[in-house]
Amino acid sequence: MDEVLTVEEAAARMKMSARHVRRLVAQRRIAFHKVGRSVRLKASDVDAHVDAGRVEPFTVSEVWTGLRSVA
């Protein structure tokens, strides 16, 4: 079974503020569950949100190709 986190625990897991997590929930940019008046997030959903924001680094050849197209 997947671990269920409070907003504060999810924020600590992402190393962000609880306010940021609440904003993600309000904008529906992260999956969440309502339990009564409380908001809970699955650990796998938090990890998936972090992974979705991953940006791969450029290689040296990609940097030079990009510079040539600008000029």
Mean pLDDT in consecutive groups of 10 residues from the start of the chain, 71 residues: 94 98 97 96 97 86 66 50
Q: What element of type H or E holds 24? A: helix 18-26
Domain segments of the chain as ranges? 4-53
Cα–Cα dist 13/28, whole Å: 19
pLDDT of residue 58: 76
Q: Are 32 and 45 in contact (CB under 8 A)?
A: yes
